[in-house]
Amino acid sequence: MRIIKKIDNENHIIEFCSINKIENFLKKNVSDIDILIIDKELIKINNIKRIQKKFSKRCFLLKGHEKIKDLNHFNSMIEKILKKGIQRKSKLFSIGGGTIGDLSGFISSTLLRGIDHIMIPTSLLAMVDSSIGGKTGVNSQYGKNLIGTFYLPKKILISSDFLKTLPMREINCGFAEIIKYSFINSGVLRKKLINFKDLDKSNINEIIKLSVLTKLKYVTDFKEKSGKRNSRAILNFGHTVGHAIESYLLDKNQPIMHGFAVAKGIIIEAFFAHKLNLLSKSDFEEINNTINKYFNNSLNFNIDVSKILSLMKGDKKNNSSNINFSLPNSIGKVSIDNEISIDTIEAFLLEFLKND
């Protein structure tokens, strides 16, 4: 299956295929002026191991982790790639999860003012979220993804075969974004999730495709500037709090997966919406219960309210002294540009954590 979506006057091409087809594609399309960046954990997969051996002189292995998303790693990779030698028509192929994709996309967008990027996302989270829509970047000490670009990959190749090699915890990480899509727009996706029981026996490919199609409805507002109902900013539901939690725990040397932080962020922001009388109690409880069904006890981490508030103040979506949120008004509808004062957020957070 192939999806082509016109975004910012460019074709966003997403293909669904087997891992064997991906190997054949790489053998045919990687040239001696191209670069590969691969998550070193993937070398245990025979298809990827063969690719790494075939193109070893132009291949870089990285350990996919949130800590590689900084300017030090960015600068190091840029210099190493330039030392290898590249041209304007060189391509960068990235194979890995979200952190590999974000870093590789940022590198691609800046090398020689932009070379083609072909993404092969290998985690569920990367397949349904970070690979779609052209956001690239690295983190700052002041927050996540504050340094980066909007740069569409030339092509994205998605294979659920990679998921068979991942622990269930990593699969669950991707479900935070899938659940979010089901609550902002896709009733069909919600029905699929209700019946989801086992990765090997489920229609995971259909769930991935529905998630990708849902996100594509919003990313045509490429740089979140329209303010319209289909604004990309709707996708930020759960992320203002989620990114702050993720950054806080990373600073504490207690890192958690992005999806777990976002899952907690979705619940907390839905609670904000309920407290502001934007969201009914029954809809809040449905969101809360659905998230907890998938994440069980994985969201029980301690946070410092003052530190979380400080990190949220630095969020790139803010335009004033208040903090800007995308909040649910009901199941299937999210509104943007909900500004809440710091004092109100603090009170809501303290109330939520007291009863959590």
Q: Which of 158-172, 227-241, 326-340 has the highest mean pLDDT?
A: 326-340
Instruction: Reduce the secondary structure of the chain to three states and give it as a string.
Output: CEEEEEECCEEEEEEECCHHHHHHHHHHHCCCCCEEEEEHHHHHCHHHHHHHHHCHHHEEEECCCHHHCCHHHHHHHHHHHHHHCCCCCCEEEEEECHHHHHHHHHHHHHHHHCCEEEEEECCHHHHHHHCCCCECCEEECCEEEEECCECCCCEEEECHHHHHHCCHHHHHHHHHHHHHHHHHCCHHHHHHHHCCCCCCCCCHHHHHHHHHHHHHCCCCCCCCCCCCCCCHHHHHCCHHHHHHHHHHHHHCCCCCCHHHHHHHHHHHHHHHHHHCCCCCHHHHHHHHHHHHHHHCCCCCCCCCHHHHHHHHHCCCCCCCCCEEEEEEEECCEEEEEEEECHHHHHHHHHHHHHHC
pLDDT in tens, 119-165: 999 999 999 999 999 999 999 988 888 999 999 999 999 999 999 88
Domains assigned to the chain: 2-166 (3.40.50.1970), 180-355 (1.20.1090.10)
More confident position, 118 or 223? 118
Question: What local confidence, expressed as pLDDT, does residue 320 receive?
Answer: 65
Q: For the residues 282-297, what does the mean pLDDT come to?
A: 88
Asked which of 176-180, 294-298, 338-342, 352-356 is least confident by mean pLDDT, the reply is 294-298
Mean pLDDT throughout 229-254?
Answer: 89
What pLDDT band is residue 5 in, cutting at 50, 70 and 90?
Answer: confident
Least confident of 105-114, 196-205, 234-243: 196-205
- The pLDDT value recorded for residue 85 is 94
The whole-model pTM stands at 0.89
